[in-house]
Amino acid sequence: MGPSGFEALDLAGIFVFAVSGGLAAVNKRLDVVGMVVLAEITALGGGILRDLVIGDVPPTAFTSLGYVLAPLVAAVLVFFWHPQVTRVLPAVQLFDAAGLGLFCATGTLKALDHGLSPLHSVLLGVVTAVGGGILRDMLSGQIPTVLYDRQLYALPALLGASVVAAARALELHGAGVTAGAAVLAFSIRVLAMRHGWRTPRPRGVPD
């Protein structure tokens, strides 16, 4: 897969994350401003946090036109057709899993390219993948879903990020590794949804 293939996937991932932000705005009965803000923050927040940390400023979200416009299109879509979007939610979740896989892999890669250690690059890969959703929930006035709902969401991202960092340590390069790690994280995420796999709670905390 060439760079333009990654770019198209990147925008697709951003778009789907923005849809999830827009749907959160509908649920919270926000207005058009809230919808646009949640769409943009959910889609771009993780990458912005990563870029601030590695010192790549302005962050990509503030240099690329498509990064700002894709969430805007998603916000318009959800604004007018949210009942229809809600009806195809399983498909949205599938695309969200694809975004998760892609962003954990590309986020880790970018951190490694900026000279961060494998451990810290994995951390930033996960931040790239789940940071936008955490900001979406904080802005919606609720505890971030990823912190309590016991779905496998951050863990597949952690796995995908680790594969990218391990491959780099083994001096394996190329888009194939990134794509493979993304597909792995995506697959685990989809399997976890299908089979209802759960993360553990601290010992002794009842369900």
- Closest distance of CB 75 from a second copy, Å: 9
With contacts defined by CB under 8 A, name the span among 12-20, 95-103, 136-144, 178-186 that binds a second copy.
136-144
- Closest distance of CB 2 from a second copy, Å: 25
- Closest distance of CB 53 from a second copy, Å: 6
- The dihedral formed by the CA atoms of 167, 120, 157 and 36, expressed in degrees to the nearest 10: -130
**Which one of residues 1, 7, 8, 52 is an interface residue with a second copy (CB under 8 A)?**
52
Q: Tell me: does residue 204 bind a second copy (CB under 8 A).
A: yes
Tell me the number of residues near a second copy by CB under 8 A: 60
Residues contributing to the site for a second copy (CB under 8 A): 25-26, 28-35, 37-38, 48, 52-55, 57-59, 62-63, 65, 68, 78-83, 114, 116-117, 119-120, 123-124, 134, 138-144, 146-150, 153-155, 199-205
